[in-house]
Amino acid sequence: MAGRGNKVGIDYFELDCHMDEKIELIEAEYGLKGFAIVVKLYQSIYSGLGYYCEWTPDISLLWAARLSGFHGGEAVRQGNVGSVSENGALPGFPKNLINDVISASIRRGIFSDELFNKYHILTSSGIQKRYLNATSKREKVSLKKEYLLITIPENRSNVVINSISGGRNSISGVRNEQSRVKESREEKDNTMCKADACALFERLWKMYPVKKGKGQVSRTQKTKLLQIGFEEMSRAIERYLKGLKDEEWRKPQNGSTFFNSGYVDYLDENYEKYLPEKPQRSKAAKGQDFPQREYNFDDLEGQLLHADGSGS
């Protein structure tokens, strides 16, 4: 890959043997077709623009047509497969299985909801990190600052950050430019994520045992957690961990999965709704403690034999 100045995408990407829990949830909901669609999207991103791909209604139609043979003809175009529902489709997009899988992937943090809603692109911080690692030896790597979810390391002098409006940052003075990019991102973070929402999330994150995927919890989701409040979220965490102890075969979710959606069933309203009812003792039973009778089994056996032999 080194020395190809005009090359943008990469020739291969890593696919973990043990997939992230979010991918497993996609497969659980949509079967192997859902898993295959996500992998196909990864292929399109890495082999095309490298760290993102556009996703518009027209592009989704072309995908449905191209993959119809691979994924089952009309099933892909019409979406009548598995547990697909009308509520899962992307607003303004054709109703098909591919768009349902993408909608679920955005909801679960596989792709950034913020950048999809703003620019109609599919990307994530993990995709961008892997792309940067794969292009470390290239002479030049061009990135769009509005699409970035990560901070570019200062030692990456081959990175040029452009703007979608057409402006370009000079390669000279890369470190100063990287500092300005980092500052602008911090200003954006402060604007989009209130300090109290971020502070609350940090407190909750320390309470949760599996600290994986922290960066995959969006600013919008942190605001939702703030609206729920620290006290109720603390109870939700305690209930979830208690359930794991009661059922030792279960493994705890990654932190990103729990704070994006896994906590919902353990909130006060939902948790208490499904608690099993405790059996109530009747008033007649209360206070009635009957003494345990003692029996002489030798006498009983003799009485039974006598009764049988005499016929009485």
Domain boundary among 273, 288, 306: 273
- One domain, residues 211 and 187: no
Domain boundary among 273, 289, 307: 273
In this structure, is residue 175 part of a structural domain? yes
- How many distinct structural domains can be found in the chain? 3
- One domain, residues 184 and 222: no
State how far the Cα of 28 lies from the Cα of 22, in Å rounded to an integer: 10
In this structure, is residue 26 part of a structural domain? yes
- One domain, residues 36 and 110: yes
Whether the model pTM is above 0.85:
no
In this structure, is residue 111 part of a structural domain? yes
Q: Which string of b and e fits 33-63 if b means at least 16 CB within 10 Å?
A: bbbbbbebbbebbbeebbbbbebeeeebbeb
- One domain, residues 53 and 81: yes
Contact between residue 163 and residue 148 where contact means Cβ atoms under 8 Å apart:
no
- One domain, residues 31 and 92: yes
In this structure, is residue 12 part of a structural domain? no
- One domain, residues 161 and 172: yes
In which residue ranges of the chain is pLDDT below 70?
1-6, 17-18, 69-89, 166-194, 272-312
pLDDT score at 182: 53
- One domain, residues 218 and 261: yes
The residues, ordered by sequence, that sit 6+ positions from 157 with a Cβ below 8 Å of its Cβ are 171, 174
Instruction: Determine the structural domain holding residue 235 and report its residue range.
Output: 195-273
In this structure, is residue 132 part of a structural domain? no
pLDDT score at 173: 41
pLDDT score at 73: 47
- One domain, residues 95 and 171: no
- One domain, residues 183 and 199: no
- One domain, residues 33 and 78: yes
- One domain, residues 62 and 104: yes
In this structure, is residue 279 part of a structural domain? no
Helix axes 57-71, 21-47, angle to 10 degrees: 110
Domain boundary among 96, 126, 156: 126
pLDDT score at 130: 92
pLDDT score at 219: 85
- One domain, residues 89 and 154: no
Helix axes 97-107, 21-47, angle to 10 degrees: 110
In this structure, is residue 58 part of a structural domain? yes
In this structure, is residue 42 part of a structural domain? yes
pLDDT score at 301: 63
pLDDT score at 167: 54
